[in-house]
Amino acid sequence: MKKSFNRFLNLLLIAAVILGAAFTNPLPVTAANPDKMEVHFIDVGQGDATLITCGGHAMLIDAGDDTKGTAIQNYLKKRNIKTLDYLVLTHPDADHIGGAPVIITKFDIDKVFVSNYEKDTKTYQKLIQALDDKRLSYTTPEVGSQYSLGTATVTILGPNEEYDNPNDASVACLVQNGNNRFLFTGDAGEDAEKDILNNGLNISADVYKVGHHGSRYSTSKAFFDAVKPSYAVISCSEDNSYGHPHAETLNTLRTNGVKVYRTDEAGTIVATSDGKKITFNVPASDTWQSGEQTQNSSTSKTTDSAAELQEAPKEEVSASTPTGITYVLNKNTHKFHKPSCSSVDTIKPKNREDTTMSRDEIIGAGYVPCKRCNP
Ligand SMILES: [Zn+2]
Ligand SMILES: [Zn+2]
């Protein structure tokens, strides 16, 4: 009796180990016969819009500014795309979400992924309105979670917490087809890159869509070294007011022998992966020309948050007892949430405070309600 019970326990243990291995294995399962995957870096001027297709499936990462929605719609239509498996809106800056309402209105979309940063702008409100009108739910994907796109696997790398600027809060992901790996980090800056690195997920990639249009505040050395790309793609417009791409970023790419492709020079760029090798539809750039000589910061209409211009308010709030928690505060962003809000899990411990204060007291202390959980 005892013996058979022990055997039963052993079997249970073995089953648990097998199941555990199946569910905790961080490496994406690569398909034996990968489909052709195409990554279209659509020329949307200053902004981002990347279409990824694989075996009849499609994903769009960002949708340019509000003048580009129809152009992206036509680009997708020409390729006979009627449904998007995924629409990823990396962060709520206008050069990434402006064109999204058109796409949301015109296409069937299975899953919408958004940043955990809500922005108080008309462009952001229009996006939420379009999602609501279509009765589409949207979530911030969990870091480490994986989604399939045909034979390709999408692994979420960020955002790793709530940040005080939209760029750092970008949804970052790695798309792998066979052995070919593509990395997308939106406009994530150095702080967010550090958090992605600290997470320990493998971020090495063949193709790196250069963070924040080639800004010097992204592509930090440690991050670049971990990615070690062979190819880099920069999405920006000619003569943009930010001076993108910055010379520092181009130098990093150049000194490491990375082949660079730029939408400001080549227009739309298409990279094709067969799972083993990657080919581009245009030759690599050889100009190494930064955008800085055309910088004109005083007259430009700012559609992109420059993290460097924002200083986070850093006042302390009074501590309170942990019993009977009413709300959760983020001392960094000065937002407050219902304890059940999905954003709460992404607050860094040092920024988080569980409070028993009333709603009025919290607002009196300078906090604003989260737009997602409406506390
Ligand atoms: Zn941007
Ligand atoms: Zn941005």
- 55 CA → ligand 1 middle, Å: 29
**Tell me, what's the pLDDT at 241?**
94
- 314 CA → ligand 2 middle, Å: 22
* Cα–chain center distance at 127: 17
Ligand that comes closest to the CA of residue 47: 1
Q: How far apart are CA 62 and CA 67, in angstroms?
A: 13
- 166 CA → ligand 2 middle, Å: 6
Ligand that comes closest to the CA of residue 244: 1
**Tell me, what's the pLDDT at 30?**
57
Query: Can you list the domains of the chain with their CATH numbers?
Result: 37-294 (3.60.15.10), 312-369 (no CATH)
C-alpha angle 251-184-266 in degrees, rounded to nearest 5: 60
Q: How far apart are CA 214 and CA 235, in angstroms?
A: 8
- 3 CA → ligand 1 middle, Å: 64
Instruction: Please check whether residue 103 is in contact with residue 112, taking contact to mean a CB–CB distance below 8 angstroms.
Output: no
Residues 71-87: b if buried by 16+ CB within 10 A, e if exposed? bbbebbeeeebeebbbb
- 96 CA → ligand 2 middle, Å: 7
- 204 CA → ligand 1 middle, Å: 22
**Tell me, what's the pLDDT at 74?**
98
- 94 CA → ligand 2 middle, Å: 8
Ligand that comes closest to the CA of residue 166: 2
**Tell me, what's the pLDDT at 24?**
44
Q: Going from the first residue of the chain to its last (375 residues), give the mean pLDDT of each consecutive group of 10, the final group possibly shorter.
A: 55 51 48 90 98 98 98 98 98 98 98 97 97 98 98 98 97 98 98 97 98 98 98 96 97 98 98 98 96 54 45 38 78 86 78 90 89 78
The bridge status of strand 172-177 relative to strand 152-158 is antiparallel
- 42 CA → ligand 2 middle, Å: 17
**Tell me, what's the pLDDT at 325?**
86
- 293 CA → ligand 1 middle, Å: 20
Q: Counting beta carbons within 10 angstroms of the beta carbon of residue 111, is it exposed (0 to 12), middle (13 to 18) or buried (19 or more)?
A: middle
- 238 CA → ligand 1 middle, Å: 14
pTM, two decimal places:
0.76
Ligand that comes closest to the CA of residue 48: 1
Ligand that comes closest to the CA of residue 170: 2
C-alpha angle 305-306-312 in degrees, rounded to nearest 5: 90
- 210 CA → ligand 1 middle, Å: 11
- 352 CA → ligand 1 middle, Å: 28
